[in-house]
A and B are shown apart, each in its own frame.
Chain A
Amino acid sequence: SQKIEQNSEALNIQEGKTATLTCNYTNYSPAYLQWYRQDPGRGPVFLLLIRENEKEKRKERLKVTFDTTLKQSLFHITASQPADSATYLCALGGRDDKIIFGKGTRLHILP
């Protein structure tokens, strides 16, 4: 069955450093991959989307890479700030309108 793994449940990063989150998947050939942010008590909010034929996408301090050979996506937040502390979700989508989510990584940016 399809499986998505996000590298760790929680990650502590010092303010100002780059936070890198990992998303690995198996038994799936996604057409695209998305990253969402979720704050406690709220619904997820979309951040970035990358398609299967794209290697890298950037948006302000965010960067996503997508390696379909390794079946892996990396999500980077540069110059991290305490306000970046949240849970980050990786999601894969295909051509059938379904999206599958990973369990998420809780990111803590330490001041």
Chain B
Amino acid sequence: NAGVTQTPKFQVLKTGQSMTLQCAQDMNHNSMYWYRQDPGMGLRLIYYSASEGTTDKGEVPNGYNVSRLNKREFSLRLESAAPSQTSVYFCASRRLEGDFSYNEQFFGPGTRLTVL
């Protein structure tokens, strides 16, 4: 199993450019998440998807859109990148069990994005 994979690993954008960060998991997990991590701010939830076909906003959704393409894939799109979106982006997944999940999240290796 590859676990959670993310592409690209690194990206440099100019202000106003758009891009899509890709995430895929091969563990048959229901839930998938996108976080950003900034120095001194910890991990902040951008969007999450409890199951295929559903998405919900997290703490910091402004400037982002997501697509849960199928059970395996969850993409994050920046329509018009801004310098404030310079960050490390992590995708995560976990298995749902019962009404809600106690299970741990599995994280990808991250995408390091710089917006100039």
Contact = CB atoms under 8 A, between A and B. Distances in A.
A43 B91 CA distance: 9
A46 B108 CA distance: 12
Interface size class of A (residues with CB under 8 A): 20 to 34
A97 B100 contact: yes
A97 B101 contact: yes
Contacts, number: 59
Contact of A43 (B42, B44, B110): B110
A98 B58 contact: yes
B34 interface: no
B16 interface: no
Interface residues of B, number: 30
B50 interface: yes
A41 B83 CA distance: 21
Interface string B74-98: 0000000000000000101000100
Interface in B1-59: 4, 31, 33, 35, 40-45, 48, 50, 56, 58-59
A102 B37 CA distance: 11
A82 B107 CA distance: 24
Contact of B45 (A44, A100, A102): A100
A46 B105 contact: yes
A42 B109 contact: yes
Contact of B100 (A96, A101, A103, A104): A96
A76 interface: no
21 contacts: A41-B110, A42-B110, A43-B90, A43-B92, A43-B107, A43-B108, A43-B110, A44-B43, A44-B90, A46-B105, A46-B106, A49-B102, A49-B104, A51-B102, A93-B102, A95-B100, A98-B48, A99-B33, A100-B45, A101-B44, A103-B40
Given A42-B110, A46-B104, A104-B42, 9 more contacts: A41-B110, A42-B109, A43-B4, A44-B105, A51-B102, A89-B43, A93-B101, A97-B96, A101-B43
